[in-house]
Amino acid sequence: MRHNVGKQPTQDLIRVFAEAAREQGEALRAADPKKANRRTKLIHKTFAELKERSPEAWQEFLFLLRHPEPYVRYFAATYALRSNPSGAIPVLEQLERQERGILAFRAALALKQWRAGEWRLP
């Protein structure tokens, strides 16, 4: 999966982010760390490009906080946490309460780090 993210329209870039997040979740559930790591790199790369775009692009990205796939919501929330905590925190709290396994753990850890002032994602 190769993506030249800089040349893609915003809507396509958001779809790439969502698909990579969904696939990262699948890879974790299947215990495939290589695939999960590749998808994580694509998620980071895609988000870095989205951050450089217009405020309208950011608003489009925030729609992912309501995506039906839990891993997409998780990644959207963790990346939106610094800029939009009022939108991201409820998503992470819901994932912590309603999901099981690694996803619930990751949501809880993100919230713990955020509340302790130790959040490291962009």
**DSSP symbols for 34-100:** HHHHHHHHHHHHHHHHHHTS-HHHHHHHHGGGG-SSHHHHHHHHHHHTTT-HHHHHHHHHHHHHH--
Q: Is 50 exposed, middle or buried (0-12, 13-18, 19+ CB in 10 A)?
A: buried
CATH architecture of 5-115: Alpha Horseshoe (1.25)
Residue 86 pLDDT: 96
Residue type, 61: F
Q: What is the pLDDT of residue 120?
A: 84
**pLDDT value of position 122:** 57
pLDDT at 8 (0 to 100): 85
The HSE-up count of residue 119 (CA atoms within 13 Å, CB side) is 20
**One digit per residue, pLDDT tens: the chain, 122 residues?**
456 766 789 999 999 999 999 999 999 989 999 999 999 999 999 999 998 998 999 999 999 999 999 999 999 999 999 999 999 999 999 999 999 999 999 999 999 999 999 988 75
CA-based nearest residue to 22, from 14, 59, 6: 14
Instruction: Note the pLDDT of residue 3.
Output: 63
